[in-house]
Amino acid sequence: MISKEMTISDILRRYPQTLPVFERYGLDCYDCQIAEFEQLEHGATVHKVNLDALLAELNRCIS
């Protein structure tokens, strides 16, 4: 299960199938060097993305 505390790069490394979800939400974090250290919650806040909706879709994607 993906949580808001996970780093973006960790999510993408463990679950590469989530990349289209990040792209749909305008999070091109896979290209960002900060992704290695940035937690999902922070990335969503910075990009003004609804964290609950993003988490729900990411977890649907991996189930």
Please give the Cα distance from 53 to 13 (Å, whole number): 21
- Distance separating alpha carbons of residues 13 and 30, to the nearest angstrom: 10
CA geometry: angle 6, 45, 23, nearest 5 deg: 70
State which H helix or E strand residue 56 sits in: helix 51-62
> pLDDT tens track of the chain, all 63 residues?
999 999 999 999 999 999 999 999 988 866 777 777 889 999 899 899 999 999 999 999 999
Residues in the chain: 63
